[in-house]
């Protein structure tokens, strides 16, 4: 390529590259005052400002948590080091398991997209595309077991109809330590159980009647590498 043509190409590319880099590392104005805050007080402040903790991952010298603001459509990556918020930056929506919504017909009734989420379904948040299965117990049974595989940003969704006041248990055994599940109640605006922060065993009592959602997924670090997880999911419900 002639030098003049090469320089012209750089001139055309540079204006596009700078905004992308800046947007990927911007601290939103509504959370700038939280940089340097203690982790516990920072979590309370983020929650009061409309952010929901949707996951976390640990590094050698720091940990990261991901916070989603549904109203603003903002995903935050918060790095904590020595008990304090070391940095807070905006990050792409898929890091908070969000995507560009489209319409999903049928009983789920919410938008759908090609990336996973923890706020799907009837509340109107994005839902991952992929396999969805309704769990129905065999006659006389109070539990069911499902086996499957999840890979990359895929999420497998299970739906189960429950009555208010029932005991509800979900257990996940998986080949990948970065694979988890979330549980979302009917008409809820956030997951009532987030596996990446609470583990792979849930037990509780249903507060309302309706269709509960269980989503099996991989955390961002594994999803970006295209990893796979073979899993066994056991779901139980009693009186």
Q: Residue 17's pLDDT is what? A: 42
Mean pLDDT value across residues 151-164: 92
Per the document, the length of the chain is: 239
Confidence at 55, pLDDT banded by 50, 70, 90: confident
The two structure tokens encoding residue 43: 């979590």
Helix (H, G, I), strand (E, B) or coil at 92: coil
Beta strands per DSSP E along 91-209: 102-103, 111-112, 132-134, 143-151, 156-162, 167-174, 179-184, 193-194, 201-205
Across the chain, mean pLDDT equals: 78
Give pLDDT tens digits for 221-238: 788 888 999 999 999 998
Q: Residue 225's pLDDT is what? A: 83
Q: Residue 5's pLDDT is what? A: 53
On whether the CB atoms of residues 85 and 35 are closer than 8 A, the answer is: yes
> Of 139, 236, 121, 131, which Cα lies nearest the Cα of 184?
121
* Range 97-238 has CATH code 3.20.20.60: no
> What are the extents of the domains in the chain?
24-93, 97-238
Helix (H, G, I), strand (E, B) or coil at 90: strand
Question: Is the confidence at residue 78, as pLDDT, over 80?
Answer: yes
Confidence at 99, pLDDT banded by 50, 70, 90: low
Q: Residue 21's pLDDT is what? A: 37
- What is the four-CA torsion angle of 183, 235, 156, 115, rounded to 10 degrees? 10
């Amino acid at each position: 390529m002639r030098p003049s043509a090469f320089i012209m190409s750089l001139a055309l590319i540079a204006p596009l590259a700078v905004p992308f880099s800046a947007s990927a590392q911007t601290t939103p104005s509504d959370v700038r005052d939280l940089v340097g805050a203690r982790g516990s007080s920072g979590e309370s402040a983020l929650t009061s400002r409309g952010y929901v903790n949707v996951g976390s991952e640990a590094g050698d010298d720091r940990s990261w948590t991901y916070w989603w603001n549904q109203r603003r459509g903002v995903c935050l990556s918060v790095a904590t080091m020595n008990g304090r918020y070391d940095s807070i930056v905006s990050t792409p929506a898929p890091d908070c398991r969000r995507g560009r919504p489209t319409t999903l017909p049928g009983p789920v009734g919410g938008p759908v997209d090609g990336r996973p989420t923890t706020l799907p379904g009837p509340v109107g948040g994005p839902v991952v595309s992929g396999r969805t299965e309704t769990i129905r117990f065999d006659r006389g049974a109070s539990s069911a077991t499902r086996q499957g595989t999840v890979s990359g940003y895929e999420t497998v969704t299970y739906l189960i109809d429950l009555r208010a006041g029932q005991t509800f248990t979900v257990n996940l055994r998986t080949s990948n330590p970065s694979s988890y599940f979330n549980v979302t109640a009917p008409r809820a605006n956030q997951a009532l159980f987030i596996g990446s922060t609470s583990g792979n065993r849930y037990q509780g009592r249903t507060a309302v009647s309706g269709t509960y959602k269980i989503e099996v997924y991989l955390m961002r670090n594994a999803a970006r590498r295209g990893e796979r997880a073979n899993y066994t999911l056991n779901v139980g419900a009693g009186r």
